[in-house]
Structure 1
């Protein structure tokens, strides 16, 4: 049995528990989590502690329901964790449906016998992170959700027959000297119609429509205008000028959505010529702190794995998860379990794993947590613990291993959420994994589209 460092003993004296090094686990592979951090933390809305890997432009990124949010939402509007997990399950199921027929393999793979839904996602409710930009000349401040699973960006515009309330003023096209609606005969309108069924023309102007899986929708004029990002600007940025909404979209309180997907309409694709087809972000550890989004991110200094793309589902960025380590030990999971890709998704909250992989992870994690009583499952979480009376909690490390022997050691915030293991199993027999935003916290995630790689850099925010 491994010896127990004196510092660990001192930390646990007030907890009435003694940490026992279970067979096969090295105490050095445990992480210390302070119990108070499970519920709240000191507010720190300052810029990230580490300078982003930037050769382009960086803008602050905040949690939509946190005190650092540039678009404050009343606390009564913030969903409970149970509500968030329920909505998250719908988004994960939607992504799996989109990939239901995608063949495995590297690079640009084809798809067979698949009908790609025209909806863009389940709803905006699972999107959690905001940036502030300027649109128009002069620039009008707009606070927008980011989503790596969406391509079409949009904001609410005047005149609006049916829009939700928002903190900023509605974008007014008539006040911008650089605003221009696309005509029905424009190449941009033809491209939009080809890639997003249901978009097209009304009179002489190009019309866009976004549909979400919960039945909500938004529609308006497909347009272009100047986009201000920090100290940089993008001319002729294409976006939807939303003038009518329905369903749950009317309950949202943000100004719009910024699409960072891999399709033709996304911000990442539109600015590829300016920012070298690379962007990165760092999601903060808690809603009480800040992260960043960088366009034109420097691509050096990252641990990189191959980016997998599908020509039939171009919005999503895929990677190949090959193994999982718990407490420094690699789990005995057959390679065939990870035969499918995993999607890096900023809009999915909790990482989804094939059922066999999740079962192995849950069992190994429980074995390393025997000093804490089990607690009742909560929603999609079935590996929960009772930390009552604890001031510090010792949890086994968890690392995700991607192709190319890229090992991503998760922060404590990416392992435990509200006293539960922050992973879930697919609700069906799908081999598709989804790397959610909880597991991405504090890590600068690089999307090097030009280089065909996804990169990771720990401790960036």
Structure 2
């Protein structure tokens, strides 16, 4: 009987390794821990690979609702609610590129822009902690590559009080910094420049636009950092202190620090809400560890950063989709959760992924996610690998936590093949994502956090 048992064990092991290798190599499948899809209650602080940037400023980055955040958000929406909000964000981003232009037209002057609306604030998931003022007051702020104007609460009950900072200065109504706000300017009050940002989810903030010292780390400080001091607002229900804009327009932190950090930054979004990542201002000394592709920009929508997908690999094999399907390009966005693909590409991805998941029963759709499975009773799940292939041949292999959300494939379809796609933050998990605006390069380094 013992020999029979050993034989059965050998057969099972042979079958398992054949399954893992069946799609083109040992990396064709990934193991997903079922626990990683559940809310985290303890900050695990796993090893973070040192950022590749040299001479930059690095700050810890955490999920705002996770235990690693300095003050975790009390609001913990359901997956269905989170996806509903995410759809609002995606709709907003795609409206900015609504003329269905091709990749060469990402710089099109025909794009119409609702400039008085910011992206949906309640989809933002990641925070950093910085200091503002002299003496510095600690502020935990959301980060957003889809916003330019940074701001913090200054309503009298918030930690930052501009009257107690020796380096704070409001801008006058005639200042150049006030004029560059454009549609986000709100006139004058007591001869001081006023700003207003209205977000797609109905929340809004308005107050005085001024400058102060921003402390990124103990030694890295930004003098004269321009930001909004929010004195009237609506729709903010959590414990964050404000927002840091990482977009590409003039008002963003990236643009303001271009002389020091070269208009470049990287970040690594952690695999789960119970682990940590980082944000670094400054370009890497070398991109040898990155898969790189060209960065696309729009003169009429300068906030966003774009890239051109060419294909998708599932289980180590390309899905049958022509590169022309992706010609509308994609926005790489920290604030959109789920990646949006052209329907033709999403259908092919979904079909190929299901083929590699036949060992698990299918499950009903969850909101916008329709490729779902029943993982009940499973401690670990074996899933096909998924890689995004960008223009120039850059292949970005996604982490297991960048493929599945809950029990569903973390992708959905745009309205049609001519709609601009979005690379969401789930797919960016554990990657060091490089935005080198000065060199027009996007990059992705694996296993960074």
Q: Same fold (TM over 0.5)?
A: yes
| Alpha carbons of structure 1 residues 27 and 450: separation in structure 2 relative to 1, 3 Å | closer
| Alpha carbons of structure 1 residues 136 and 48: separation in structure 2 relative to 1, 3 Å | farther
CA shift, 1:72, in A, is 2.1
Select which of 178, 183, 197 maps to 1:189: 178
Give the corresponding residue for 2:378.
390
Select which of 429, 432, 439 maps to 1:441: 429
Which string of whole-angstrom CA distances, capped at 9 and with x for unpartnered residues, describes residues 177-230 of structure 1?
00000001101011112xx35533223110000101122211000010000001
Describe the SS at the equivalent of 2:301.
Answer: coil
Q: 1:102·1:110 contact (CA, 8 Å) conserved in 2?
A: no
Distance, in Å, in 1 between the alignment partners of 2:14 and 2:24 is 17
Q: Quick check: 1:173 aligned with 2:162?
A: yes
Count of aligned residue pairs for this structure pair:
437
Give the corresponding residue for 2:263.
277
| Alpha carbons of structure 1 residues 108 and 236: separation in structure 2 relative to 1, 3 Å | farther
Describe the SS at the equivalent of 1:54.
Answer: coil
Describe the SS at the equivalent of 2:427.
Answer: helix
Which string of whole-angstrom CA distances, capped at 9 and with x for unpartnered residues, describes residues 126-178 of structure 1?
00000000000000111100000000000011447xxxxxxxx4310111000
Distance, in Å, in 2 between the alignment partners of 1:256 and 1:432 is 29
Which string of whole-angstrom CA distances, capped at 9 and with x for unpartnered residues, describes residues 76-110 of structure 1?
x2111111000000100110001112633459712
CA shift, 1:427, in A, is 3.8
Give the corresponding residue for 1:293.
279
**Unmatched 5+ residue regions in structure 1?**
1-5, 13-17, 161-168
Which residues of 2 match residues 5-404 of structure 1 at below 5 A?
A: 9=12, 21=19, 25-26=23-24, 28=26, 29-39=28-38, 43-46=42-45, 48-55=47-54, 56-74=56-74, 77-101=75-99, 103-106=101-104, 109-112=107-110, 114-122=112-120, 124-159=121-156, 169-193=158-182, 196-230=183-217, 231-246=219-234, 248-249=235-236, 251-300=237-286, 301=288, 302-404=290-392
CA shift, 1:393, in A, is 1.5
TM-score (norm 2): 0.92
**Unmatched 5+ residue regions in structure 2?**
1-8
CA shift, 1:118, in A, is 1.4
Q: 1:107·1:307 contact (CA, 8 Å) conserved in 2?
A: no
| Alpha carbons of structure 1 residues 254 and 436: separation in structure 2 relative to 1, 3 Å | same
CA shift, 1:353, in A, is 0.6
Distance, in Å, in 2 between the alignment partners of 1:186 and 1:192 is 11
**Which runs of structure 1 show a deviation greater than 3 angstroms over 4 or more consecutive aligned residues?**
6-12, 18-24, 40-48, 105-108, 427-430
TM-score (norm 1): 0.90
CA shift, 1:9, in A, is 4.0
| Alpha carbons of structure 1 residues 390 and 52: separation in structure 2 relative to 1, 3 Å | same
CA shift, 1:303, in A, is 1.8
| Alpha carbons of structure 1 residues 258 and 127: separation in structure 2 relative to 1, 3 Å | same
| Alpha carbons of structure 1 residues 324 and 406: separation in structure 2 relative to 1, 3 Å | same
CA shift, 1:8, in A, is 10
